[in-house]
Amino acid sequence: MTTDESASSRPLVYAHRGASAAFAEHTRAAYLQAIADGADGVECDVHLTRDQNVVLLHDANLDRTSDGTGPVADRTLDDLRLLDFSSWKGARIPLEFGGKSDQLLTLPELLDILREAGRDIGLAIELKHPSPYLLQLEDRVLEVLESEGWDPATSKVDNISVSFMSFSPDSVKHLLKTVHAEFVCQLVDDVNAEEIREELGLGVITGGALANVMRAAQVEGERILNDCEVRLAGPGIEYVRRHARTVKRWLDSGRRFRVWTVDSDEDVALCRELGIHEITTNRPAQVLARLSDSKHPVS
């Protein structure tokens, strides 16, 4: 567990989908391990089920991280409870982290886990788009948080400090109608049409069309940050490397930076050198150890 004093002298460390290098991403085990590792906060991605439950999953489809197939949005929560979301990782789950059937989490269940952390902790919620439910995703997430006691003025639920993120400028603009700008993060990354086609298995025409839509979103996201409409900037580590002058301008303008996904010693050192405020990592224990290493002081 970190103290406020120790955390203030280094970047805050957010566990990316939990301690996802150790256990399957977004699972109960991954989040419990992140808390045990001393992470200052955790990150999660959210989707809506057919019956409008907010579940913690990165992909819009079930194929990669479960033994199910097809869109998340086509399944009810009860349907999803029948699936295995942890075995694909090949990591043995300790008994205290629950059984195989306990690993899928809803947003309220993650809040309960974080309440039990015994300390203040951050929660970064990424709203995933495109969503078949459009901006109803944002409305439902805020509705769930309000039912759990979320205070819009402080963006806190009990001991949990909540922030919101999206690559979608439409999502960010919609959130800003309800959420203060200091708690909203515009995510940005470079768009590579070839990588998109390969990752999603798309043809040249479809992949190119999607890349054009994503490039337009990137340009608008960069404008939102240039115009200081949100306080939090969320570039990927490779974006930070490629766009040093843009990053410096945003830093100088008072943007708070949350950089993803930072796992290597080299990337941790770069973030410290630049004065990055928050690091999102799959390996919170290792990154915290690196940051506390007196042989590598902040430049």
Given this model, what pLDDT does residue 2 score? 45
pLDDT for 79 beyond 50: yes
Given this model, what pLDDT does residue 8 score? 59
The total domain count for the chain is 1
Contact present, 201 and 195 (Cβ < 8 Å):
no
Q: Does residue 61 fall inside a structural domain? A: yes
Low-confidence winner among 153-157, 206-210, 273-277 (lowest mean pLDDT): 206-210
Answer positive or negative: Cα dihedral of 18, 23, 26, 27. Answer: negative
- pLDDT of 262-294, one tens digit each? 999 999 999 999 999 999 999 999 999 999 984
pLDDT for 4 beyond 50: no
Given this model, what pLDDT does residue 209 score? 82
**Which residues does the annotation mark as catalytic?**
16, 58
Contact present, 155 and 161 (Cβ < 8 Å):
yes
pTM given for the model:
0.94
Give residue 212's identity as a one-letter amino acid code.
Answer: N
Q: Does residue 281 fall inside a structural domain? A: yes
Query: What is the pLDDT of the chain when averaged over all its residues?
Result: 93
CATH, residue 111: 3.20.20.190
Please list the alpha-helical segments (H only) found in the chain: 4-8, 28-37, 77-81, 107-115, 136-147, 169-175, 193-200, 204-226, 237-242, 244-252, 265-274, 284-292
Name the band, by pLDDT with cuts 50, 70 and 90, for residue 3: very low
Residue 137, domain extent: 4-292
Q: Does residue 297 fall inside a structural domain? A: no
Over range 151-172, report the average pLDDT: 98
Given this model, what pLDDT does residue 5 score? 41
Gyration radius (Cα) of the chain, Å? 18
- pLDDT of 216-239, one tens digit each? 999 999 999 999 999 999 999 999
For the chain, report the end-to-end CA distance as a whole number of angstroms: 24
**What gap in Å lies between CA 211 and CA 194, rounded to an integer?**
9
Q: Does residue 69 fall inside a structural domain? A: yes
Contact present, 26 and 45 (Cβ < 8 Å):
yes
Q: Does residue 298 fall inside a structural domain? A: no
Given this model, what pLDDT does residue 244 score? 95
Q: Does residue 124 fall inside a structural domain? A: yes
Name the band, by pLDDT with cuts 50, 70 and 90, for residue 204: confident
Q: Does residue 188 fall inside a structural domain? A: yes
Name the band, by pLDDT with cuts 50, 70 and 90, for residue 197: low
pLDDT for 1 beyond 70: no
- pLDDT of 90-135, one tens digit each? 999 999 999 999 999 999 999 999 999 999 999 999 999 999 999 9
pLDDT for 7 beyond 60: no
DSSP character string of 44-66: EEEEE-TT--EEE-SSSBSTTTS
Q: Does residue 195 fall inside a structural domain? A: yes
Given this model, what pLDDT does residue 84 score? 98
**What gap in Å lies between CA 195 and CA 40, rounded to an integer?**
32
